[in-house]
Amino acid sequence: MIKNIKWLLLVSLTFVACNNDDETIVSNSSDGAPLTSGTADFSKYVALGNSLTAGFSDGALFIEGQKGSYTNILAQQFAQVGGGEFKIPFMADNVGGLLFGGAPNPSFGPRLFFDGCGPVPVTGSSTTETFAPNSGGIFNNMGVPGAKSFHLIFNGYGNPAGLGTVPATANPYYVRIASNPNKSVLEDAMAQSPTFFSLWIGNNDVLGYALAGGDPTIDAITPTATFDFAYSTLVNTLTSNGAKGVIANIPYVTSIPQFTTISVKPVNPNSYFKDTDEPNCSVTYPISAGDIATINAINSSLMSALSSILPDRFSLLSTTANNPLIIQDESLEDKGATIVFAATNSGNPTLVALANYLGATYGKARQSNTGDLIPLTTRGVIGTQNTNLPAPILQAGLGAYGITFPLPDRHVLVPSEIAELKTATDAYNSTIKSLADSKGLAFVDANSVLNEVATKGVSANGFTLRSTYVTGGAFSLDGVHPGPRGYALIANEFIKSINAKYGSNLKGVDLGNYRILFPANPQAF
């Protein structure tokens, strides 16, 4: 549900800033000296990682996104100094999504595009079959969307039999490209005898927990010991034959628009308290008498009671300004008994009748506040009805998620959960930096780079990239993965680190040669 969002750009933004889709290839470095690989050997480059390595963008993997991956950009620069072929396991189309035995799988749908109001799926159907035999051999780009650190060393991650298990022990993106169902990603990488590798893995070890709103029953943070073992195994194996490489650390989730776009007060009086004049994205309507009447009714039936019983957690809704969400917060002391007692003794027949319900529902609830993070994915839940409630509760108008009924924990990150994510990310990054130093590898501080994008923007080639959703130029419409220009920026950061470590003088690419967003029509690339 996207309500009352006033975008700064129109649909034409999708096509902005493309002289062409590829970087300009030149034979000399920026200082005019001949290009050199320095002490690195790029003749057999293999890239390992997750969706970032694969070129995932706009919620899907598709051909043009794969072409624009930072790893493919690197391979094109390596080719200028002796780098060899870089085989990519291309999808079958620019729609995105996967077929499972010829049938679309709703968990792997088409990519998004910007229609002038917000992100919507492109038209068309996927033609990429998960179970098609792999006739391409072993690929240089071993980025597997969804992979965590330990998945890259797991034998059976490409075995289709594991897709039906709970939790799944296989990944459909790797099922379609694995050289053997029981080979690990690392084994397929090492079979190529790489002379140079890149490794960017670990984002999903925390991202899954963040997207689950900090609910470990949906997706837990990878234990530090597990991460350390997996990452050490990867780096020790990749360098065992003398290969050089570049590795990157993990950005905080607080630097990506998935978690920074929705404010803690997103409930617009006109958009969410419905009568007949809700705005669309291009028209703004004033707050109507009907909106005000609905808000006052909610204040009278619910918020006045909650704010008087627990004033540190609740306040009355405003009829003139955006309002916070009602959320569950597992870190709170349960005040259910306090609510039940106050409602039972209120003298208000409605509150007396609802006392037990109110205590059970709002005892560990509060309104959203500074320090909370509301994922973009939550936007589709806010204001929808919890239809599992008893009829009298729904009739009283108390079933709207985030408005009158608490959003479940899985839809919000509270400060204690954000702290858990930071602690884990810091631990992972300590391991990554330690291994980079001990093995003499180039190191990319992706955490600092993306934090700079999020806080003040990064400027290059006359463009400034920010993390602002849709308009910032760095991220795609899924709010997690970079867009084309964002991947080009990342490639340049990798090139800087490689040059500094190995004495090469590879050129960075011109950001102006990369579009901000992809077009709607899959045939329009």
Q: Which of 242-246, 288-292, 372-376, 419-423 shows the lowest per-residue confidence on average (mean pLDDT)?
A: 288-292
Is residue 19 very low, low, confident or very high in pLDDT (cuts 50, 70, 90)?
Answer: very low
Residue 281: the pLDDT is: 66
Q: Is 39 exposed, middle or buried (0-12, 13-18, 19+ CB in 10 A)?
A: exposed
Q: Is 394 helix (H, G, I), strand (E, B) or coil?
A: helix
pLDDT at position 6: 33
Single-letter amino acid, residue 127: T
Sequence-ordered list of residues with C-beta below 8 angstroms from that of 395, at least 6 positions apart, any chain: none
Asked whether residue 407 carries a pLDDT value surpassing 50, the answer given is yes
- Name the pTM for this structure: 0.91
Quick one: which H or E segment has residue 186? helix 185-190
Q: Are 199 and 245 in contact (CB under 8 A)?
A: yes
Kindly report the average pLDDT of the chain as a whole number. 91
What pLDDT digit, counting tens, does each position of 445-488 carry? Answer: 999 999 999 999 999 999 999 999 999 999 999 999 999 999 99
Q: What is the pLDDT of residues 438-447, one digit of tens each?
A: 999 999 999 9
Q: In the predicted model, is pLDDT for residue 229 greater than 50?
A: yes
DSSP state of 163: G
Query: Alpha-carbon distance 347 to 116, whole Å?
Result: 52
What local confidence, expressed as pLDDT, does residue 16 receive? 39
Q: Please report the pLDDT score of residue 391 as a whole number.
A: 85
pLDDT over 90 at 10, yes or no: no
Helix (H, G, I), strand (E, B) or coil at 366: strand
Q: Which residues pair with 460 in a beta bridge?
A: 463
Looking at the chain, the whole-number percentage of residues with pLDDT higher than 90 is 82
Residue 52 has pLDDT above 60, yes or no: yes
Contact assessment for residue 374 and residue 326, using Cβ atoms and an 8 Å cutoff: no
pLDDT tens sequence across 369-383? 999 999 999 999 999
Distance of alpha carbon 478 from alpha carbon 469, whole angstroms: 9
Cα dihedral 448→454→459→463 (10° resolution): 150
| Largest pairwise CA distance in the chain | 86
Distance CA 502, CA 108 (A): 40
Angle 451-456-459 (CA atoms, 0-180°, nearest 5)? 100
pLDDT at 33: 81
Q: Which residues contact 233 (CB under 8 A, 6 or more apart)?
A: 153, 186
Architecture of the domain whose range is 11-261+414-513: 3-Layer(aba) Sandwich (3.40)
The 10 Å Cβ neighbour count of residue 289 is 10
Residues 6+ apart with CB under 8 A from 304: 316
**Coil, helix or strand at residue 409:** helix
Distances (CA, A) of 517 to 4, 72, 353, 493: 22, 18, 53, 21
pLDDT score of 274: 57
Q: Give me the mean pLDDT over the 328-344 stretch.
A: 96
The mean pLDDT value for 256-268 works out to 95
- 392 or 172, which is more confident: 172
- Quote the CA–CA distance of 476 and 100 in Å, as a whole number: 26
Answer with the residue of higher pLDDT: 269 or 480. Answer: 480
Confidence of residue 317 (pLDDT cuts 50, 70, 90): very high
Question: Taking the domains of the chain in order of start, what are their residue ranges?
Answer: 11-261+414-513, 269-411
Please report which confidence band the pLDDT of residue 207 belongs to, taking 50, 70 and 90 as the band edges: very high
The pair phi, psi for residue 34, each rounded to 5°, is: -60, 145
Closest CA to 409 of 313, 325, 306: 325
**Model confidence band, residue 77 (pLDDT cutoffs 50, 70, 90):** very high
- Closest by alpha carbon to 49, among 197, 193, 190, 172? 197
CB 365 within 8 A of CB 334: no
